[in-house]
Chains A and B, each alone.
Chain A
């Protein structure tokens, strides 16, 4: 008989404790983000696809050493460069990233000795077409600067 009543009262008490918890939660601030209207800033270590870094003049820092292309385990990176007349350094002419095969391992960023590659903070990458994932990183850099 005692167990019967103690069970009832303990059960009832636990219900009030639960109500207290939700009551407190009710007055706490909202933690969600109304996504398409507002977005959060990605953390510093977020790994999007790779992106070229520009120098002060807005040109890519890349010197076409091909280290990233060699480092890539999935053969995603194809880059090309040429030596303009009267210059000692090569200039990047195209940098194609095949994101369909990229596993975001970061070997290319690690391999780069000239601080020319980084991870982007891009995460809105949904598409129904495969072609949308062949990125021209040089063009992206120009778009960013213009």
Chain B
């Protein structure tokens, strides 16, 4: 009994530490990456390669006062940053980093992650609503319509995976993708469905992850040029810091989920590379995906709200539905 309790505490501490560390150093990676892409060095003054920048930024944010605007809904205003952080940390509980490293595996892990992911947009709505600021409100409305539009193709794609694997257990989904790259769900040539359109499903899922995490080019929620900063316009201090960390924690969750569903989780790309521990492969894959996130952000300009909704309703949803039907048919045939 006490061992279970210790397990839980250990899992929570590790999850929070992992999320916070990732959030801090992804900001650094983002700024360095942005710098390199724009032919400038990025933060390089504090410490070697600017590595002390994130803790110093955090210290500065913590030293600041949290001001609550007059007329704001105080409870929601204070609760919103916490609410935005908690789905990300909760989702870490069920993500399997390798065959051994998982805090608590459950047979509906996929469902749980999606349930928590959708509650993330609730935090944005709370933040926008409670700030009593028209820009924040507009941003919140945009974020919610965006979340609604992109959750549909994302879930349809996830259902395609569930059809192929027959389970919502994340560990089981990964286990079925062994042992080589040809068994991964992105190129499922040797699994039971042989669906050649899965690379497109991967692209759809990845695009939806970008949109769900409010990342560029889909960061209409915080379009600086129109909405100043979006839903977190009135937040200073660690309130802002939590939103910022939640954004990066969500990126990590999105990358983990993409890796688990499409890129074979902890499996090496070729069977003879199995001597390297699974967790190394898993982290390698998620950091490649995160690097792609950063790379995309600094490549593409922000879309318009119409472009964003058109992309989802006219392109992503029909194609993902078609792929779902195709997968179902192929599963019946083979």
Residues of A within 8 A of B (CB): 8, 12, 15, 18-19, 21-23, 25-32, 34
How many Å lie between the Cα of A62 and that of B315 in the bound state?
A: 77
What string of 1s and 0s marks CB contacts (under 8 Å) between B31-48 and chain A? 001011111110010000
Would A19 and B296 count as touching, CB distance under 8 A?
Answer: yes
Would B300 and A25 count as touching, CB distance under 8 A?
Answer: no
Would B36 and A18 count as touching, CB distance under 8 A?
Answer: no
How many Å lie between the Cα of A29 and that of B33 in the bound state?
A: 13
How many Å lie between the Cα of A22 and that of B34 in the bound state?
A: 10
User: Looking at the complex, which one of B41, B203, B295 makes contact with A30 (CB distance below 8 Å)?
Assistant: B41
Chain A residue nearest in CB terms to B297: A22
| Ranked 3 nearest A-B pairs via Cβ | A32-B40, A22-B299, A31-B39
User: Looking at the complex, which one of B35, B296, B300, B315 makes contact with A8 (CB distance below 8 Å)?
Assistant: B315
Would B39 and A30 count as touching, CB distance under 8 A?
Answer: yes
Residues of B within 8 A of A (CB): 33, 35-41, 44, 203, 295-296, 298-300, 315
B residues in contact with A26, CB < 8 Å: 33, 36-37, 295
Would A19 and B299 count as touching, CB distance under 8 A?
Answer: yes
How many Å lie between the Cα of A25 and that of B35 in the bound state?
A: 10
Would A25 and B39 count as touching, CB distance under 8 A?
Answer: yes
What 11 new A-B contacts, CB under 8 Å, besides A31-B40, A34-B44? A19-B295, A22-B295, A25-B38, A26-B37, A26-B295, A30-B36, A30-B40, A32-B39, A32-B40, A32-B41, A34-B41
Min CB distance, B47 to chain A, in Å?
15
A residues in contact with B298, CB < 8 Å: 22
Chain A residue nearest in CB terms to B311: A11
How many Å lie between the Cα of A30 and that of B203 in the bound state?
A: 32
A residues in contact with B203, CB < 8 Å: 12
| 21 contacts across the A-B interface (CB closer than 8 A) | A12-B203, A15-B300, A18-B300, A19-B296, A19-B299, A21-B299, A22-B295, A22-B298, A22-B299, A25-B36, A25-B37, A25-B38, A25-B39, A26-B36, A27-B36, A29-B39, A30-B35, A30-B40, A30-B41, A31-B39, A34-B41
How many Å lie between the Cα of A26 and that of B33 in the bound state?
A: 8
Chain A residue nearest in CB terms to B315: A8
B residues in contact with A30, CB < 8 Å: 35-36, 39-41
User: Looking at the complex, which one of A8, A12, A23 makes contact with B295 (CB distance below 8 Å)?
Assistant: A23
Min CB distance, A11 to chain B, in Å?
9
B residues in contact with A23, CB < 8 Å: 295
How many Å lie between the Cα of A19 and that of B36 in the bound state?
A: 14
Chain A residue nearest in CB terms to B296: A19
A residues in contact with B299, CB < 8 Å: 18-19, 21-22
Min CB distance, B330 to chain A, in Å?
21
Chain A residue nearest in CB terms to B33: A26
How many Å lie between the Cα of A15 and that of B80 in the bound state?
A: 35
